[in-house]
């Protein structure tokens, strides 16, 4: 796992093959970063499908309305929804859509991004200045590369959980599990001398 410099602006996505750590760029796209943290902290991204995965291009997820694979999931609807929060204005920057960058998915309207996002598999510079870049994978890109492909995938992969690193509690390894506390030794009754 990569060194996390700013836990409050880092998210960890658990996939079936392992963890993906994403550095969020709060100084570049503060509203998009705040939205991702809000949806992560409320658990809305948990179990959401990767509904559009195009090899050599990108993996798209984040439909918290129709993409939850645990709650009446309908693959035909995944990718058509958003959160109940208002749409976000575009926060375009000079950052390019390079491999591992996170972009805000949206409709034709540049100010329609909400909860959906994509992770670029390659340099997709034709998206520069058209889709907000607000994060980048700093470890675990090999797990992103292994996401099932398709539009939609026949058997889509999901984000098992998404947590802000400041809140993340990694599972303890067997060697690190706490041993049961020892019972304190019974106190011997004190004997007071009578005067």
144 part of a folded domain = yes
- The DSSP secondary structure of 89-107, one letter per residue, reads -----S----TTEEEE---
Residue 70, number of CB atoms within 10 A of its CB: 9
What average pLDDT does the segment 130-143 reach? 98
- 170 token code pair: 């990694």
186 part of a folded domain = no
What average pLDDT does the segment 100-125 reach? 98
Closest CA to 64 of 43, 44, 47, 79: 44
179 part of a folded domain = no
Closest CA to 148 of 59, 38, 71: 59
25 part of a folded domain = yes
- The CATH number of whichever domain residue 160 belongs to comes to 2.40.100.10
19 within 8 A of 12, measured Cβ to Cβ: yes
Cβ within 8 Å of residue 60, ≥6 positions away: 50, 51, 52, 53, 79, 105, 116, 117, 118
CA distances (Å), origin 133, targets 74, 85, 120: 29, 20, 10
pLDDT in tens, 18-66: 999 999 999 999 999 999 999 999 999 999 999 999 999 999 999 999 9
Cβ within 8 Å of residue 183, ≥6 positions away: none
When divided into structural domains, the chain yields a total of 1
175 part of a folded domain = no
- Range of the structural domain that residue 72 is part of: 10-168
When pLDDT is cut at 50, 70 and 90, the band that residue 174 belongs to is very low
Q: What is the pTM of this model?
A: 0.85
125 three-state secondary structure: helix
Residue 74, number of CB atoms within 10 A of its CB: 9
71 part of a folded domain = yes
190 part of a folded domain = no
Question: Regarding predicted confidence, which is higher, 163 or 174?
Answer: 163
């Amino acid at each position: 796992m990569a060194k996390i410099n700013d836990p409050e602006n880092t998210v960890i996505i658990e996939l079936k093959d392992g963890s993906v750590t994403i550095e969020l760029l709060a100084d570049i796209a503060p509203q998009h970063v705040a939205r991702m943290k809000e949806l992560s902290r409320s658990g809305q991204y948990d179990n959401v499908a990767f509904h559009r995965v195009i090899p050599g291009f990108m993996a798209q997820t984040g439909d918290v309305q129709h993409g939850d694979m645990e709650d009446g999931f309908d693959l035909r609807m995944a990718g058509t929804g958003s959160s109940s929060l208002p749409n976000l204005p575009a926060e375009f920057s000079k950052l390019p859509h390079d491999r591992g960058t996170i972009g805000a998915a949206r409709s034709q309207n540049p100010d329609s991004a909400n909860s959906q996002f994509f992770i670029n598999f390659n340099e997709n510079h034709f998206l520069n200045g058209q889709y907000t870049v607000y994060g980048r994978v700093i470890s675990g890109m090999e797990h992103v590369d292994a996401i099932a492909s398709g539009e939609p995938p026949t058997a889509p992969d999901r984000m098992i959980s998404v947590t802000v690193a400041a809140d993340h509690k990694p599972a303890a390894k067997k060697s690190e599990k706490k041993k049961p506390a020892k019972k304190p030794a019974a106190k011997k009754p004190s004997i007071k001398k009578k005067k």
